[in-house]
Chain A
Amino acid sequence: MAAGIAASSPVVFLAGIVTIVVIQAIPSIRFSGWHFLTSLTWNIGNVYGGLEHEHGVTAASGASFGSRVFIVGTVASSVIALLMAVPVSLLTAVILAYRTRGVVRTILSTLVELLAGIPSVVIGLWGMTVLTPWISTQLGPLLSRAGGVIPYLRGPVGTGMGLLASGCVLAIMVVPIITATTRDLLLQVPTLYREGGVGLGMTDWEVVRHICFPCIREGFIGAVALGFGRAMGETMAVLMVSGNAVNLLPQNLYSPISTMAAFIADQLDSALTDASKMAVHALSELALLLMILTVATNLAARLLVSSGRWRQRRTGVDAP
């Protein structure tokens, strides 16, 4: 009995959270409709003025809720994070799996995993005090000059808080996830396959490129998706370096943005002042959207990672 309750508690929690978010989001879905996905404007209305009634729900007058800025900010910062994190993670994983042994491997692996354990607010603090000034004075002007014809590289750099800074802090947070997963996948590639390549006169790099990587391809895509899910859901570090743009799409790599998660954290306080509660409902809908995105990404990621493992079993050679 007790074991049954304990075992089902994660399911109960999950169901409870989903139910609450959905119930909270319903008035906003009725109020905004598709407009919620397409509009750029997020305005909780005049909370001290009158109320307006629309589609059978009540909101502060002048209220309008559109999440496109936050969807774009979330996806763009996460993609930038992956562009930086994927090559680094892959290289690190290859080195951890094949170029280090014994104590050195243990120490390096532990260090990578410790990186995942740094509280995101600490990374955010680093981002605010070190990274954004550096982007503002050094990296930004450099990229802006070097960018030339590439549209998103040009333009004013500003404070350094924005898309690039968000991408950077997110990259630091997803590198350990992608690295650890990829390293484990690489270690599962049977020695027999690798020796087949080595015995044929392939260099270490050729063995990784032509034998090991194809073996783990699905799993690796899954690892990247896992990182993507993590990046989209990250709140605090992004909130601290994103520049908190509202009602404005990013114009270049340095533009201020807001992500869905950071915006919810940022706006909840003022949303609670809305007597019609519609601002909170709208944030709930944003939360629901974020949850759907991250859960779907994670689900796809997990399926890919496990299908990568399954494929190795199917080929019938025992892992070392």
Chain B
Amino acid sequence: MGKSISTRGVCAWYGAQLTLKGIDMSIDANQVTAIIGPSGCGKSTFIRCLNRLHETVSGARVEGSIRVGDVDIREIDPVDVRRMVGMVFQKPNPFPTLSIYDNVALGLRLGGIRAKSELAQRVEHSLRLAALWDEVKDRLYAPATALSGGQQQRLCIARALAVEPDVLLMDEPASALDPVSTHRIEELVEALKGTFTVVIVTHNMQQAARIADKTAFFLNGELVEFGETTQVFTTPSDKRTEDYITGRFG
């Protein structure tokens, strides 16, 4: 089951540049939360703080408190954080030298699962969760790079789900995909609701409106508005949100 996330005063820097200016946000467990905003508003930086990936970049720095469930993730080993908080990236990035099966199995093996039958079972389960099983069950040992872009992205989702994270972060997961693949990813996110806490960054407002329970609007490194998706899109309380969703900028 998913866990809730709460952040207090999260600031993030790239070198001397402040990209997040004190984000306070409470993300509900087992819901889909969308983060929207124009390019460079800090939305990707924010979710990269949630699994401590931001700090792996040269010169990057984070301050503030981030709790997943009742754990302050900044006080535990980042490797443990990332096992708890999975991530899907903007471009599909399956491990290029591994087969479809091994892409999913690798995380499990490193997590200590050795028995072949259990591995096979969990790989199948993850591929089914990611709605990819029927398309790949006859070629599990083909290279992952032989899949289409959309399939590769679903493989990356399966890979992230296999290690049973509490939270799944998705950084514009459909932005490099065609409309049909995008639709399949959206269906998938809908299906994950209730089991995982999903935080999805998107530049596509229709997508946010379609799949998210709650939506946050970021602008210039600040959280401008955060509420029920229908409320944010129909009766935004902030003028800047209204301007953005009605297409006046961004």
Chain A positions near chain B (C-beta within 8 angstroms): 101-102, 190, 192-193, 195-203, 206, 210-211, 214-215, 217, 315-317
Contact = CB atoms under 8 A, between A and B. Distances in A.
B53 A199 contact: yes
**Closest 9 pairs (CB-CB, A-B):** A201-B83, A214-B97, A201-B82, A199-B87, A196-B93, A315-B96, A192-B93, A200-B107, A101-B58
Residue from A199, A211, A214 with most neighbouring chain B CB atoms (10 Å): A199
A132 to B, nearest CB: 43
Describe A's contact surface by its main secondary structure. helix
A25 B160 CA distance: 63
Interface in B76-105: 79-83, 86-87, 89, 91, 93-98
A196 B82 contact: no
Nearest to B106: A210
Given A198-B56, A201-B83, A203-B79, A317 B93 contact: yes
B95 A211 contact: yes
Residue from B81, B82, B97 with most neighbouring chain A CB atoms (10 Å): B97
A201 B108 CA distance: 11
A101 B60 CA distance: 13
Contacts of B111: 201
Contacts of B80: 201
Contacts of B106: 200, 210
Contacts of B81: 201
A119 to B, nearest CB: 36
Contact of A198 (B82, B94, B95, B97): B82
A315 B53 CA distance: 24
B159 interface: yes
B93 A195 contact: yes
Interface of B: 51, 53, 56, 58, 79-83, 86-87, 89, 91, 93-98, 106-107, 110-111, 145, 156, 159-160, 163
Contacts of A316: 145
Contacts of B79: 201-203
Given A199-B53, A199-B87, A202-B79, A193 B110 contact: no
Given A199-B82, A200-B163, A315 B145 contact: yes
Contact of B89 (A102, A195, A210): A195
Given A101-B58, A214-B98, A215-B97, A200 B82 contact: yes
Given A101-B58, A201-B82, A192 B91 contact: yes
A230 to B, nearest CB: 28
A198 B53 contact: yes
Contacts of B95: 193, 196-197, 210-211, 214
Contact of A202 (B51, B86, B96, B110): B110
